[in-house]
Amino acid sequence: MELKDIGEFGLIKRLTKNITLYKERVIVGVGDDVAVVKTEAEKYLLLTCDILIEGTHFTKETITPYQLGKKVVAINVSDIAAKGGIPKQALISIGLPKDTKVVYVDEIYGGIKEQSKKFNIDIVGGNTALSKDKIFIDLFLVGEIKPDLLLLRSGAKPDDKILVTGNLGDSSAGLKIIENQDLKLEDIKFEKKYKTKLKQAHLSPNPRLLESRIIAKSNFANSMMDISDGLSSDLAKICEASNVGAIIWEEKIPVSKETLAFAKSIGKSPFNFALHGGEDYELLFTIPKENVEIIIKKIQRETKTKVTEIGEIKDRKFGIKIVKTNGEMTPLNTYGWNHFKT
């Protein structure tokens, strides 16, 4: 058996089996966006880390070092936002080949410092190491939250409505343009400004920290996570953690005019990008139906961010299904980013 046979999530389950947790301290361990730890203070600690590896997550040709630095902070902030928390301190480990230009590293840290300043994060330590031939950046982020505001994947309840912030699919459409996989973009009648916006969605994600705080403080939502692996995959994670099913309507999934135009230009369905693309870093949350309009109006009024109701939580026996634009209801294929899987 090889890693490609079990995939990222199979490996995680294998490695974390029979781990001992001291339950008086650990509120949530492996299996959510962050770990949640109780201390002597009034607030819980939120702990998360995420890594960007050259050749897997980026290439030097497709992202600037400044953008790379900003992105590694943003994707970690998104995990803290997924719980309704506030990011506080960061430690950064970076591996570098010995022939890396010093100015390249300076620019990475320029992006890290700029993004950390934006979210009031203190950089308090880390590590540097020699890497044989690839750059990697691993950021460990500490956040905090009041216990009564904490939102997990495991709280969704039947009849909850399923909501998302922003548009879905822009990042994966942008990655398609960046990588230019089997595309003759010069032959596609697609506006340059559209290409730029989609590429920026992938290269410079915007974590929904303010929106997540509004959701958490409302005490309306029952569950929440960020969309990093794709809507289909991440909705399945909420359903598994909450022991529920779900139904979503394809026509309700928010897709930008840029992704719609790009998908049409290459003869693809825009919903493939929106459902399975990943790296949108939008929020996916569930909420009782009586509070839907209240939270939508509050978020839009205070942040100008669009919020869309796309479905409903069902009993587990229902499974996870999607109603296509033609009215056909089918099981939702849960594709998405999965390390190691072929």
Confidence of residue 267 (pLDDT cuts 50, 70, 90): confident
pLDDT over 90, % of the chain: 68
Kindly state whether residue 339 falls inside one of the protein's structural domains. no
Instruction: Mention every residue, 6+ apart, whose C-beta is less than 8 A from residue 64.
Output: 107
Q: Same domain, yes or no, for 26 and 137?
A: yes
pLDDT at 36: 81
Do 301 and 158 fall within a single domain?
Answer: yes
Q: Are 67 and 109 in contact (CB under 8 A)?
A: no
| Six token digits for residue 248 | 């979503």
Q: Which of 85, 120, 149 is the last residue of a domain?
A: 149
* pLDDT for 18: 66
The domain boundary residue, chosen from 149, 170, 192: 149
Do 35 and 43 touch, CB atoms closer than 8 A?
no
pLDDT of residue 194: 87
pLDDT above 80: residue 154: yes
Q: Is residue 255 part of a domain?
A: yes
19-28, 126-135, 198-207, 279-288 — which is least confidently predicted?
Answer: 19-28
Assess whether 56 and 86 both reside in one domain: yes
Same domain? For 38 and 143 the reply is yes
Query: Domain for residue 259, yes or no?
Result: yes
Sign of CA dihedral 225, 159, 239, 269: negative
- Indicate whether 194 and 320 sit together in one domain: yes
CATH number, domain containing residue 52: 3.30.1330.10
Instruction: State whether 145 and 217 are in the same domain.
Output: no
Together in a domain, 142 and 157: no
pLDDT class of 130 with cuts at 50, 70, 90: confident
Mean pLDDT of 109-117: 93
Q: Is the pTM for the entire model greater than 0.85?
A: yes
> Does residue 141 share a domain with residue 165?
no
- Domain assignment of residue 114, given as a range: 3-149
For the ranges 3-17, 73-87, 178-192, 265-279, the one whose mean pLDDT is highest: 73-87
CA 190 to each of CA 138, 194, 225: distance values in angstroms, whole numbers, following the listed order: 36, 7, 33
Position 340 confidence tier, pLDDT thresholds 50, 70, 90 = very low
In angstroms, rounded to a whole number, what is the distance separating the alpha carbons of residues 44 and 31?
A: 17
Q: What is the pLDDT of residue 74?
A: 97
In a domain? residue 173: yes
Q: Is residue 308 part of a domain?
A: yes
Q: Where do the DSSP E strands lie in 97-188?
A: 122-130, 136-145, 161-165
158/122 same-domain check: no
**Pair (34, 174) in one structural domain:** no
Least confident of 101-110, 176-185, 261-270: 176-185
Q: What is the pLDDT of residue 26?
A: 73
In a domain, 326, yes or no: yes
Q: With b meaning 16 or more CB within 10 Å and e meaning fewer, what string describes 105-121?
A: bebbbebbeebbeebeb
Give me the percent of the chain exceeding a pLDDT of 70: 88
What is the predicted pLDDT for the residue at 179? 84
pLDDT beyond 90 at 218: yes
User: HSE of 31 in the Cβ direction (CA atoms, 13 Å)?
Assistant: 17
pLDDT value at residue 41: 78
Between 193 and 278, the higher pLDDT residue = 278
The residue out of 116, 149, 182 marking a domain boundary is 149
User: Based on the structure, what is the number of domains in the chain?
Assistant: 2
* 248 vs 234: CA distance, rounded Å: 13
pLDDT grade for 30, boundaries at 50, 70 and 90: low
Identify whether residues 35 and 176 lie together within a single domain.
no
Residue 283 counted as domain residue: yes
CATH code where residue 158 lies: 3.90.650.10
Q: For the chain, give the mean pLDDT.
A: 89
Counting Cα atoms < 13 Å in the Cβ hemisphere of 274 gives 27
More confidently predicted of 304 and 34: 304
204 and 297, same structural domain?
yes
